[in-house]
Structure 1
Amino acid sequence: MIELKSSDEIGRMAVTGRFVGELLAELRDAATVGVNLMDLEHQARRRIKDRGAESCYWDYAPSFGRGPFRNVLCLSVNDAVLHGLPHDYVLRDGDLLSIDMAVGIDGWVTDSALSFVVGTPDPADLKLIEATEVALESAIVAAQPGGKLGDISAAIGKVAHDYGYGVNLEFGGHGLGRTMHEAPHIPNNGRARRGMKLEPGLTIAIEPWFCRTTDKIKFDADGWTIRSADGSRTAHSEHTVAITESGPQVLTRRPAA
């Protein structure tokens, strides 16, 4: 079942979204060469607790994964793209890091992710990150009231193909609001003008993610961390977006770098 949110409820989600955006920007700035991933995890735990928020990841136990997730961040490095478990790893010059987080405040959830290079960037990594960011912005533009869900998926797929990347359809965007995962599922490729109608009040997480030289993935032994099947680098961008009468409203925008 899809619950359309009122303007007031979208406003409450926007409060959560501002916090998520600010914290992601803070973590991006903190993630420098020599920083341990667990330092970022504990920094996020403190900030979430101080805000009186709740992590949507803590104790999350979907059909995949090995036991409940006991962290507040997904930290995915280099060939890891989704659901990376924070662990004892010190960031190195040139690492490509993706940070993903979902938080609830007063019962309203938002979800967002970003990717960036720590230290000296490889131009190929910057191109890959750029592709996910361009795809995300293109998908947001396509998320118009009266349009179709396929418009969003098609926008992401077109950007991926224009940049020369394949698209994996096993994981994609999703509805959210009262919980982290609600209907509908939003594939990262599809056909425009197909699928459910985009109604004002629909709130969704749009999240393009690409691997540099494959569209296949594999799981680590931990059951959580998802990597490119061929070891190539990966990137992931995500925002929570509300469909409104006047167009898409991004709820998780981050302060400028």
Structure 2
Amino acid sequence: MIFYKTEEEIELIRQSALILSKAHGEIALLIKEGVSTLELDKRAEEFIKDHKAVPSFKNYNGFPFSLCISVNSTVVHGMPSNYILNDGDVISVDCGVYFQGFHSDCAYTHAVGNVSDDITNLLEVTKTSLYHGIDKAIEGARLGDVSYAIQNYAESFGYGVVRELVGHGIGRNLHESPEVPNYGKRGQGLKLQSGLVLAIEPMINLGTRYVVQEEDGWTIRTRDKKPSAHFEHTVVIRKDKAEVLTTFDYIDKAKQQ
């Protein structure tokens, strides 16, 4: 079942998304060589709870952390650990916030120190592909239009578009219908209507699209062990232009400090 949100519900998701976006900014301040990914998780949980909200991911289907932290060849669902960030690493931070009965979801992939041009380009293309998808997330379009826009842009650079993992509806539940693949055909799939809130999240690999799951049951890695990138926004379908409820502005400000 697909749940369309009222303006009052969208406002609550917007408030959730603001806390989430600010949490991402706090995490971005800490990302540098010598910091453990567990430290990032601890700060995120503190910040979210200080704002009278709850980390959406913690204890979700048994996941024990507030953040999914995916480093280098890990695509998504990586677990925070004692791993110390190194110069040249690429780290995806995925976080969700539950506030006043509603979830929001957002991810950003950071470069640690000096990374190769290949990594820089992968991050830029993945981030841009997210906005290509958002541009198509308008009333009257089809879900396949969003999916195609992401796939077409990313694959034009020779990157692999992960197919096993997808975006999703979001609201009172962290994951709602419909699924939002990052690949597809224009003009196909669900007809988009105003009030539908989606988490759109391209996961793009430097190499092939193929992934494997680690024995921990969570961590998803690229099969060829090449780096991957992941960006995500929570957006609401509107008549002429999607409204993006999460923002990377706080991350951008943190990076300027």
Q: TM-score, normalised by structure 2?
A: 0.95
Aligned equivalents of 1:202, 1:252: Cα separation in 2: 15
Find the partner of 1:231 among 225, 230, 235.
225
- Name the counterpart of 1:242: 236
2:107–2:231 contact (8 Å) kept in structure 1: yes
Is 1:55 the equivalent of 2:55?
yes
- Name the counterpart of 1:182: 176
Aligned equivalents of 1:93, 1:220: Cα separation in 2: 25
Root mean square deviation, CA, Å:
0.9
Aligned equivalents of 1:168, 1:117: Cα separation in 2: 20
Is 1:89 the equivalent of 2:80?
no
Aligned equivalents of 1:107, 1:212: Cα separation in 2: 37
Q: CA deviation at 1:52?
A: 1.2
Aligned counterparts, 1:130-141, within 5 A:
130-141=124-135
- Name the counterpart of 2:45: 45
1:18–1:254 contact (8 Å) kept in structure 2: no
Any gaps of 5 or more consecutive residues in structure 1? 62-67
- Name the counterpart of 2:208: 214
Deviation sequence 1:182-213 (CA, Å, 0-9, x none)? 00001111011111110000000000011111
SS in 1 for 2:41: helix
Q: CA deviation at 1:247?
A: 2.3
Is 1:154 the equivalent of 2:173?
no
- Name the counterpart of 1:116: 110
2:49–2:55 contact (8 Å) kept in structure 1: no
Deviation sequence 1:198-241 (CA, Å, 0-9, x none)? 00000000000111111110112211111100110110000000
Q: CA deviation at 1:246?
A: 4.1
What one-letter code is carried by the residue in structure 2 that aligns with 1:123? D
Aligned equivalents of 1:58, 1:168: Cα separation in 2: 24
Q: CA deviation at 1:245?
A: 3.0
Q: How many residues align?
A: 251
Any gaps of 5 or more consecutive residues in structure 2? none
Aligned equivalents of 1:56, 1:177: Cα separation in 2: 11
Q: CA deviation at 1:167?
A: 1.7
Q: CA deviation at 1:168?
A: 2.1
Deviation sequence 1:152-175 (CA, Å, 0-9, x none)? 000011111111112221101100
Moved over 3 A (4+): none
- Name the counterpart of 1:7: 7
Aligned equivalents of 2:202, 2:139: Cα separation in 1: 21
2:73–2:226 contact (8 Å) kept in structure 1: yes
2:20–2:48 contact (8 Å) kept in structure 1: no
Aligned equivalents of 1:23, 1:56: Cα separation in 2: 13
Aligned equivalents of 1:73, 1:227: Cα separation in 2: 17
Aligned equivalents of 1:145, 1:174: Cα separation in 2: 17
Aligned equivalents of 1:139, 1:246: Cα separation in 2: 14
